[in-house]
Structure 1
Amino acid sequence: LVIEDIQPDKILSFLIALKSLPRLFSLDIRTMHIMGNLNDIYRLIFELATLKYNKLYLYGNECSISIPLATGKQLSTIEYLEIVHYYTFDELSDLISYTPKLRHLNLSHINQDDSTIETMSPINLENLTSISMYTNYINFDEFETFIQNIYSELKTLHVTFSYQDITFLDAYRWEKLILQYLSQLKKFSLKYYDNGHSMYSGERTQFNSSFWIERKLIMNVEINEYKILYLVSPYRKRWYEDKNSTVDYLESTQLTINYVFDGEPADFLFMYIKSILNRVQIYHLDIQRKISIDRLMQIIHLLPDLITLKINSLAFYRSFFNEEFPTTCSIEHASKIKKVYIENTQAIEEVYFLLHVCPHMEFLNLQCLHGKTIELFLRDILNKINKNLRLLCIYVSKADDNMIKRLSTMIDNGKLLSNYTIHRELNNIYLRWK
């Protein structure tokens, strides 16, 4: 049952009426109205005899809870509790004293002025296996205190922090916390939003140590318009891997750029990248927006260890704010790139440019140009290939087996390649040669 925008003067009578429903298992209340004190609301929710899932979402409204600790006769059947409103840790302790069967706890919006975490009472929840938390008001030490006071066999922990405390990226602190207090943990993810303005002169984060590699957890980074997101999560297969690929977790960190500042000064973008490089080494670059060639080379200029490059599409206009690019340094960095993916190929010149600036490219993945036959498109590429390119993947929306035969005939008749194989996987045509 989902209830939205219920009035404060109606919610109590509504909750009382819900007691008459014999099979109410799920209750989701969302409102923008100020509720003030939540004592009676939670008291009535906990009295719902069959409830398994409860969510109370107050859209950031400040509120208070002074509910007493539960007694034996007041216990709730709730197994999944989602709290999306302000609370202190003392209030949280009191609330979940009513939910001994709790298995999943989802928390958001801790109070900014919560001074109770240091004196937080221990919470015993023997059934609790999963915690998800979002907050922008506690530092790592306070979060550590919270975890130390949760007595349960946690198997899943997903946390998101916006508070500017670089300790959240201290892999050794996380390793120590997990080994000492979360020994049963099977699933873990960490999101840390950084404003990119903080200075950092310490050593690079060590989320590539054996502890993290054994758990197949890696760090990736995203740049948005005004934020940097550091993400530690399970490794997922990427576009440049096939079934025979071996994952190198030591060189797996990817930077995804969601905002390229095209047509405007890119000072923030460059500042973000430099800030990131102070903390982690970048080996893979994914640019989610159309980008000019000069802006692309400006970015590559800052990233000396790139192995793969994925871009949405290239634009061949030059920025009004352009410096003299490409530089010798950017050309040197681009020459190390071995695998390239163009999601939306709009001109053959994009392919020529990338083949030129990435002379050691071994794998090229791209989309066939609209309005151009696959035969002409492939011929144009093969006439420009460098000596290192050995694998080509072209997406063609109408690919079929007859197309593979035609391409093979064209390659043989034109003597474009020798000792090659060509096959289709759905709409992707793979051409490999030695």
Structure 2
Amino acid sequence: MINSIENFSNEIFYEIFDYLDGCDIYKAFSNLNYHFSQLLNSSLLLYKIKFDFESDDLFMNNYQHMKSINPHQIFSLNLSSELYIDKFLSSFNIDSSLDHLQSIYLENIQPNTLLILLKNCIHLPYQCQIYLLIFTLPTLKYCKITSHGFKSSATLPFATDNQQLSMIEHLIIDHSVTFSELAAILSYTPKVYHLKFWHEDIKYPIIQMISSTELSKLTHISMNISYLEFDEFEIFLSKLASTLKSFNLVYTEKELEYLDFDIWEELILQNFPQLEKFYFDFNAYISDEDEFIFDGCICDQFISSFWINRQWFVEIVIEPDIISLTIKPYRKKWYEFINIDNDLNVNHLTLLTIRDIPMDKYIETYDKIEWLIDVATIYHLEICDDVFIGTIINIMNILSSLDSLKLSSIKLPNTTLLSMEELDEINHAVDNNKITKVYLDKMIRFDDVLFLIDLFPKVKYLQIGCTSDIDINLFLQIILMKIQNKVNSNLHLLAISIPTADDYMIERIQNMIDFKRLLFNYTIKRTNDTIFLRMKSF
């Protein structure tokens, strides 16, 4: 029996240390005893060093601990504090003694500083290209290069037969490249299996410069593409390996051939039989002058055995000046965690999210929603803004097939000031909506919930987000009395999310319900900060 942490095996410590910063490890364990001294200096322990500080004292303290670490044991360096990158590099030599160094992360480093650093890494004469310097690092497996506006005017030459090639396996080119530049980069990296890049070239893309051989080992590819016609994109896809397992495409334009889902189905079946994950973002920037931009596109093509069997589904997002259609692997949504009944197979239905829309821009948003109902049947809606209830009703009238609705918060009208026409609109919404699941993320007043119960008479699942200072017993008493007074209430499950939820709160609620005889056949349980009250009958 182990009765002291010191008696843990070295393997357990190595496993624990893998989650910790190297300087923190050294600071905590270096002066304990001989056993830990031996452990920290073992060649089996490799340190991950991270410098992310905003004060000189913290920087110097960790730097002193780092200087005590054997350089042969440093596995990675993360210098994410731009204030101290130059100071660190002027004091610490990154050279051949770091023979286990496999990862360097530098944030906001200046190009000249990076060139000096890389020259020290490889001990080679000065070269003009950052990529050429990186490719000569002998043990580098992972490389991410991010550039905001900086672009070398020099062209990277293609690798020659007698040139040293890179050992990089995971390459992220987080800046725009042409296909000719990408082809040159790939000529140095024959072992890359995970590739991410941005393509942006209004001129002829010259896809033919990339050979299938350079892409033959890819199992994961992620692309951000603009200004590329779909037939050119198809040529690029034909060069990818049939062993591809993960595909991620972000497209920012309006060419609708990218939204022909039957073509996508054919391409995947023919070229990528081993594909497991498929991500596709179609981002269409729109202006007030744009008319219907999705002519001929039918998202309901996704409700077919090909997409369902692979668990890839479509979601749509409306934001200011942009509509995004996204295909991605299935993940459970809030309305799926609790199984109320089997009336609707929610796994296969489309979610629309509306966010960051100013209150005075919702009239234009109605037009965009009108576009979408010709493209897809929307069954789930999430509105991430604080909106007036009239806005919600207008959207509900457009999306007549809605089954679930999630709201950030609502603004209720003063019913005494409503006109007869406005009251008729509310009554029409009450009579005609089919919504069975409602989630109010932030309740401002008790009246918010009472209004929603009246507005959605078919609701079976209601979830409410509350603040910790709410009188939860009073709140539940009011809701349950409201439900009892309704004829033929359909509400079966009430979920209350509250930060202070605990078992004692559950006990108090249960005592209150039983004492006041509000329910007779129910169950209550808690999952994290959410209390679920299932009502079987009244």
TM-score (structure 1 length as normaliser): 0.86
Q: Mind listing any 5+ residue stretches in structure 1 that lack a counterpart?
A: none
1:132 is displaced (CA, Å) by: 0.8
What runs of 5+ residues in structure 2 fail to find an aligned partner?
1-76, 115-126
Question: Which one has the bigger helix percentage?
Answer: 2
Q: Report the counterpart of residue 19 of structure 2 in structure 1.
A: none
Match of 2:475 in 1: 377
Which deviates further from its counterpart, 107-116 or 373-382? 107-116
> Which amino acid is 1:228 matched to?
I
> Is 1:56 paired with 2:56?
no
122-131 vs 228-237, which moves further: 122-131
The 5-angstrom pairing of residues 177-196 of structure 1 reads 177-196=267-286
Amino acid at match of 1:179: L
Q: Decide which of 329, 346, 367 is 1:271's aligned counterpart.
A: 367
Larger radius of gyration: 2
Match of 1:106 among 196, 204, 208: 196
Amino acid at match of 1:216: Q
Q: 1:22 to 1:409 in 2, by over 3 A?
A: closer
Distance 2:381 2:110 in 1: 40
- The 5-angstrom pairing of residues 77-226 of structure 1 reads 77-117=167-207, 120-151=210-241, 153-196=243-286, 197=290, 198-202=292-296, 204-205=298-299, 206-226=301-321
Contact conserved, 2:318 with 2:353, CA < 8 A, in 1?
yes
Aligned to 2:387: 291
Per the alignment, residue 25 of structure 2 pairs with none
* Structure 2 counterpart of 1:425: 527
Deviations along 1:130-165, one digit per CA (max 9) or x if unpaired, are 111112222332222111122352111111110211
Q: Which of 87-96 and 238-247 deviates more?
A: 238-247
CA distance in 1, matches of 2:443, 2:180: 56
> Given that residues 241 and 272 in structure 2 are in contact (C-alpha distance below 8 angstroms), is that contact kept between their aligned partners in structure 1?
no
Q: CA deviation at 1:338?
A: 0.2
Query: CA, structure 1 residues 400+265, in 2 after alignment: closer, same or farther (shift >3 Å)?
Result: closer
Q: State the Cα distance separating 1:276 from its structure 2 match.
A: 2.1
Matched, 1:280 2:376: yes
In structure 1, what is the Cα distance between the partners aligned to 2:516 and 2:175? 68
Does the CA contact (< 8 Å) of 2:349 and 2:379 recur in 1? yes
The answer as to whether partners of 1:399 and 1:427 remain within 8 angstroms in 2 is yes
Is 1:230 equivalent to 2:325 in the alignment? yes
AA paired with 2:408? Answer: N
Aligned match of 1:365: 463
Any conservation in 2 of the 1:33–1:58 contact (CA below 8 Å)? no
Alpha-carbon deviations, 1:1-28, whole Å to 9, x = none?
A: 567999xxx9xxx9xx967453442345
Which residue pairs with 1:315 in the alignment? Answer: 411
Give the distance between the partners of 1:86 and 1:372, measured in 2 at CA. 51
Q: What is the TM-score of this pair, normalised by structure 2?
A: 0.71
Corresponding pairs, count:
420
Structure 1 residues 188 and 90: alpha-carbon distance in aligned structure 2, compared to 1, 3 A threshold: same
Distance 1:240 1:136, change over 3 A: same
My pick for the range that moved more, 143-152 or 304-313, is 143-152
Letter of the 1:116 partner, please give it.
I
> What is the CA–CA distance in structure 2 between the aligned matches of 1:152 and 1:70, rounded to whole Å?
27
Contact 2:466 2:497 in 1 (8 A): yes
Deviations 1:390-434 (A, max 9, x none): 111112333333333332333233332222222222332221122
Distance 2:426 2:475 in 1: 31
SS in 2 for 1:240: helix
Aligned counterpart, 1:355: 453
Q: Deviations over 1:324-361 (max 9, x none)?
A: 58737960686300011111111111111111111111
2:245 and 2:277 in contact (8 A); partners too: yes
Q: Percent identity?
A: 35
User: Which of 488, 511, 515 is 1:409 aligned to?
Assistant: 511
Q: C-alpha distance in 2, partners of 1:330/1:48?
A: 69
Which amino acid is 2:516 matched to? G
Distance 1:324 1:169, change over 3 A: farther
Which digits, 9 at most, give the CA deviation of each residue in 1:282-320, with x for residues without a partner? 1111111211111111221211110011111111258xx
Cα distance change, pair 333–40 in 1 and its aligned pair in 2 (3 A) = farther
Q: Distance in 1 between matches of 2:149 and 2:246?
A: 26
Partner of 1:40: 129
Does structure 1 residue 259 correspond to structure 2 residue 356?
yes
Question: Given the superposition, is the C-alpha separation of residues 96 and 333 from structure 1 closer, same or farther in structure 2, using an over 3 Å criterion?
Answer: farther
Residues in 1 aligned to 2:188 and 2:438: alpha-carbon distance in whole angstroms = 55
CA distance in 1, matches of 2:155, 2:529: 57
Tell me: CA distance 1:397–1:199, structure 2 relative to 1, closer, same or farther (3 Å). closer
Deviates more, 1:162-171 or 1:345-354: 162-171
Higher relative contact order (CA 8 A, sep 6+): 1
RMSD of aligned alpha carbons: 3.2
Q: 1:84 to 1:413 in 2, by over 3 A?
A: closer
